[in-house]
Amino acid sequence: MVAGGDPLTLNQLRYVVETAEAHSITEAAARLFITQPSLTSAIHALEEELGIRIFTRTNKGIRVTADGEEFLAYARQMLWQERLMHQRYGKRQDGKPRFSVSAQHYSFAIEAFVDLLREVGETRYEFHMRETETYRILEDVGTLRSEVGVLYRSPYNATVIMRAIAAHGLRFTPLFRARPHVFISKRNPLAAKEEVTLADLRDFPRLSYEQGDHNAFYFAEELQSTLPADKELIVTDRATLFNLLIGLGGYTISSGVINAELNGADIIARPLRVTDYMEVGVVQHGRVRASNYARRYIACLKRRLPSEAEDAADSI
């Protein structure tokens, strides 16, 4: 029940979630197949009933407020639970099974996703594989937009990452520990080295993934991100990063797990001589039982782990 005594409806929740994801009342109304005035009126009425402001309006569109972010977290959970109930107990109109993963940019996470699809052998499905920002992974799994997240922690970021994981009601399960490697083009002069030092990297452009509003070093996808670099390139997707590695002779620091089929034969990995390490694992919601697809995806992940990977530590 909301403040005025009327029960919340799933349609109201869908209106708010769709509007937040579209960042526009006009676009959300089109997606929902209702008129813009009807959607605006419904959101205003809901805000008045709840006694909070969910969105603020600007000349560039809409922005979610702090109260709105909290409400959206609950709304997404309720809509996900409704979806799960339909999947397990009802007859969906389209009959498609659904499953979502949010991950940092790891080729083995993609390979495991492909393995899962081949293994389940569904003829119709709607699966989502989201390579995204670190904090967005926590938001996706915390709001049940995705059921599984894949990311890393390290001695440097573990305290902040684990605190953020707990704040979103999640749990972290380590998969493996990896020594840092640099990804470079096979035409890069550093390719001739068996091992690379931080000093070797000084004259080359450093590439890293954009982390949006949570661009703190603790959420960086790359190890050693706090070290100064004269040449920095920030990208949002894997294809751009690898194209720039080849075209500009740059580098990025990652786990060393690379797949020539997915990343191209021009990209190679060289060990980085540092004492740091990364522990890659999965995050799941602490209060939601894993679906069959989630359990099978994690099993596929484990089978895709590099043979030289160290066993994951119980703690950092």
Confidence grade of residue 313 (pLDDT, cut at 50, 70, 90): very low
Residue with tokens 């003829």: 123
- What are the structural domain ranges in the chain? 10-87, 97-316
| The pLDDT value given to residue 314 | 42
pLDDT digits (tens, 9 = 90+) for 4-38: 456 688 889 999 999 998 889 999 999 999 999 99
Residue with tokens 């389209």: 94
**Cβ-based neighbours of 95, under 8 Å, separated by 6 or more:** 124
As a three-state string, the secondary structure of 268-301 is EEEEECCCCCEEEEEEEECCCCCCHHHHHHHHHH
Q: Give the least confident one: 85-94, 135-144, 256-265.
A: 85-94
| The pLDDT value given to residue 282 | 98
pTM of the model: 0.72
**In one letter, which amino acid is 218?**
Y
d(CA 81, CA 70): 17
Q: In 90-200, which residue ranges form alpha helices assigned H by DSSP?
A: 107-120, 134-142, 158-167
d(CA 148, CA 264): 26
297 burial type by CB count under 10 A (0-12 exposed, 13-18 middle, 19+ buried): buried
pLDDT digits (tens, 9 = 90+) for 166-203: 999 999 999 999 999 999 999 999 999 999 999 999 99
Which two structure tokens, joined as six digits, stand for 254?
């990652």
Q: Which CATH number does the domain 97-316 belong to among 3.30.70.980, 3.20.20.70, 3.40.50.300, 3.40.190.290?
A: 3.40.190.290
Structural domain 10-87, CATH architecture:
Orthogonal Bundle (1.10)
pLDDT digits (tens, 9 = 90+) for 130-145: 999 999 999 999 988 8
